[in-house]
Structure 1
Amino acid sequence: MNFKSLLGVILVASISFSANAEKIAVLGVQQALLASSAAADFREKLKSEFSKEDRSLLDLEKQVKAARDKITKNKDLASAEELKKMKIQFQKVFAEYQRNGQALQQKRMEREQAFIQEMRPKLDKVIRELIEKEGYDVVLAKQATLFAKKEVDITPRVVELLNKQ
């Protein structure tokens, strides 16, 4: 099925679907979660939690650049043996930089996943309450819509309610 055919099927389905649904909204779930005050607090907490590791990684990055520059500046002046030692030192520092960077990235991802797991029940509760209170028949994922008027986007409202939790 080509794109035009798929678009036609979606259009026909949405028209017939819309005829039966009275109140439709779109929601950017991840956008709402990331825009919440809890997410802002979490980002600050993460920043302070990993500040020591970030500084250490920056120091390693400086060492990598210095080792690279030393090789570049001395490649015509140094003996083959000295150049070999400089390259080995560069490789060691670079490998450590990569390992530490990957480990830090993994820790951040794990913490972010834990935050999302923690926030998901609160987010689901807010969404359910809003749907019931406002009487929505259909709430579509914002990312899955081709077009939606700003008025039908309930993401800002979800953020507001989530911040009150």
Structure 2
Amino acid sequence: MILQNVIIRLDDRFIHGQIVLSWLKVLNGKRIIIIDEEMIKDPFMYTLFQMALPDDVSFEIFDCTAGILYLKENLGEVVLVLVRSLSTLEKMYSEGLRFKEVMIGRIPFKNGRRKRCEDVYLTSDEERIIENMLEKEVEVVVQMVPDSERHYLKKKE
């Protein structure tokens, strides 16, 4: 199932100033979905994120399985889907969701990660996931804010 009107962004910070002040306006989005196994268990962060959003923006958090089901059943409106990890994207794809583009906000440095490009550091498993997406002709774009340059990741040779 090809997702229409769905923008998928990998950003471990989820909802923050760039999302609220920039991306929602540019995308004309009124709905945010977070798909994350950890965040679904944190009612404090849910409340905090809900308070940070404008009143006219709806917001929900799902675990990966429920998020996939929701996206399969609720297409039509513009939805910004936020995920923390490439493994979540890989599971979404393996469960039949198809997307033309994945936007990476950042993947910060941690031990065991190597720099792929500015603001993106990957483990070998994350590199494998990116390469698999590129093989499936999913565009992987790194872009912090709407008016910054889009950096398209290419297959490694």
- TM surpasses 0.5: no
Q: RCO higher in 1 or 2 (8 Å CA, sep ≥ 6)?
A: 1
State which structure, 1 or 2, has the greater radius of gyration over its C-alpha atoms: 1
Q: TM-score range by the shorter chain?
A: under 0.3
Structure with greater strand share of residues: 2
Q: TM-score, normalised by structure 2?
A: 0.18
